[in-house]
Amino acid sequence: MIKPSKPDNEEQRLQALQRYQILDTPSERSFEDLVTIATALCGTGMGAVTLIDRDRQWFKARQAVEVSEGSRDVSFCGHAILQPDQVMVVEDASQDPRFHDNPLVVQDPHVRFYAGAPLLSLDGLPLGTLCVFDARPGQLRPEQAKALSALSRQVSLVMELRRYAHEIQQHMRDRAWYEQRLAEYNSLLEQQNADLAEQSRTDPLTGLPNRRAMSAALETAIRDVDGQPRQTAVALLDIDHFKRVNDLYGHATGDHVLAELARLLRAHFAGQGLAARYGGEEFVVLMPDTALATAELQCDFLRMAVADLPLGIPLTISIGVAAHRHGDSVEKTLARADAALYQAKHQGRNRVLRAD
């Protein structure tokens, strides 16, 4: 096992950490939520917000981790803070000379995969990490690494908010100072909430709205401003034989195909609809104020455009389209579009079918 060395600015780093007055404080929902988002995005069973003290790493928030602190000498995060400008990824700790005999690897929790994004103070000093890890070897896709870095910045922002709040409490007698800091606090909080809301509604690979955002948009689109029923069409589309694309050309090519299809959807329905990633290789398109026959025609144009994408590999899609019916739930409309999609695939793929 190779113990992590200490940064050249170690004393300055520790002084910065102490200014946050966060070590050995109770758990807080804002940190726990960020760990939950990080593990969900990266598909791991464990995660934590860790702060590297002089001789220990202490967990401000943790998921599926029993202990609240551990020795810095055996910590993965002690290594991660040595490169504060990048995410440290260990795909299989049992094969890494730094960690193969580490107690965290050979004993509980038997860490194999680790990814840690450093937490930085305002002056760029590494204080700890937002990390995710698992008992199985794994990989971190580029978009996942980017999302983990974004979430680590959110953790640092929450730490700054805590520090501002503490300073505000200490300076409440100075009203002018208090009002200025309170305005800064509210601005930072609004920024954090906006960033988190965007991350919770956006698919990181394609940049399209995700399933949750589309469901909310559909609920709004089926009624006009006066609450009256509105003519709305919904299409579900699926890439034909997408597993074969991944198997033959690799997952990087598969991700490129998804991103290019998302770009085409965004352009095809600009100003007249909303496209979202529904899950895996499935996408959904919302077409307000559109009759079913018109929606079917638009989807057929899309199908032909997909076949002409300059991807270097053959690509087709199948589409099921349905009109929302007054009195039906959003879920029922999506189910009818999904049933039409199933029939399109059953009848040979590369076609558009509409629900009766």
**303 and 323 Cβ atoms separated by less than 8 Å:** no
Strands (E), 55-172: 56-63, 69-71, 88-90, 113-120, 126-134
**47 and 35 Cβ atoms separated by less than 8 Å:** yes
**How many angstroms separate the CA atoms of 291 and 298, rounded?**
11
Copy the structure tokens of residue 334: 């999506």
Using DSSP's 3-state secondary structure scheme, residue 21 falls into coil
Q: How many CA atoms lie within 13 A of 310 on its CB side?
A: 0
- Angle at which helix 330-346 crosses helix 211-221, to 10 degrees, equals 120
Copy the structure tokens of residue 96: 């890494």
What's the one-letter identity of residue 266? R
**241 and 253 Cβ atoms separated by less than 8 Å:** no
State the sign of the Cα–Cα–Cα–Cα dihedral 183, 184, 186, 190.
Answer: positive
**How many angstroms separate the CA atoms of 303 and 287, rounded?**
16
Whether 179 is catalytic: no
**286 and 273 Cβ atoms separated by less than 8 Å:** yes
**153 and 160 Cβ atoms separated by less than 8 Å:** no
Residue of 107, 116, 43, 42 whose CA lies nearest to 77: 116
**How many angstroms separate the CA atoms of 297 and 314, rounded?**
22
Catalytic residue, from 281, 282, 296, 331: name it: 281
State the sign of the Cα–Cα–Cα–Cα dihedral 47, 254, 239, 297.
Answer: positive
Query: Which of the residues are catalytic?
Result: 281
